[in-house]
């Protein structure tokens, strides 16, 4: 049992996951100290105060349903986004690892820049759909199973009809 626990602790993916969560927490603390609150983004206030819910999935408006599911609970929604940020980083690490044949300096710098992106961390600590949309896009791009790809393509469209903009930006910036 101890050996299994040591393997889990030594797993780079687990370290990336928890480091990502810690990074989001640090960004959250810094933003709150300098006065950037949960209502900094107009969309955050819009999602939290939206009352015209229809209790079924709607194309392009799925994040409204997510907010409704969590009863507009700010802490729960931010926690969801932070976990999505950490999962995204874990998947991105796996993808980066496959791209580089050798683990030289460029590999580690690339991994740090992509994984610990301050802008994505900023998005993760606000009630915005972008973090979940980026996670669904990453899972769509880096999964080899066609059924799973189609599922995450559908999820992406459910979050935002114009998700292809994120798709184009992903290839432009990464």
pTM score: 0.82
Query: Kindly report the CA angle at 128 between 126 and 132, in degrees rounded to 5?
Result: 110
The residues spanned by each domain of the chain are 2-173
Q: What is the pLDDT of residues 5-40, one digit of tens each?
A: 556 556 888 889 999 999 999 999 999 999 998 888
Statement: residue 89 has pLDDT above 80 = yes
CB 115 within 8 A of CB 90: no
């Amino acid at each position: 049992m101890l050996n299994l626990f040591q393997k889990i602790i030594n797993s780079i993916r687990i370290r990336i996951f928890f480091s990502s969560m810690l990074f989001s927490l640090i960004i959250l603390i810094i933003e709150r100290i300098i006065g950037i609150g949960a209502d900094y983004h107009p969309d955050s206030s819009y999602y939290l105060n939206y009352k015209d819910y229809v209790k079924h999935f709607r194309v392009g408006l799925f994040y409204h349903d997510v907010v409704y599911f969590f009863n507009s609970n700010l802490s729960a929604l931010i926690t969801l986004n932070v976990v999505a940020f950490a999962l995204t980083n874990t998947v991105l690490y796996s993808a980066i690892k496959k791209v580089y044949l050798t683990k030289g300096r460029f590999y580690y710098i690339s991994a740090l820049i992509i994984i610990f992106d301050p802008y994505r961390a900023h998005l993760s600590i606000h009630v915005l759909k972008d973090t979940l949309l980026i996670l669904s896009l990453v899972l769509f791009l880096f999964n080899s199973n066609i059924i799973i790809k189609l599922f995450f393509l559908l999820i992406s469209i459910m979050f935002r009809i114009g998700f292809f903009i994120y798709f184009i930006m992903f290839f432009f910036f990464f």
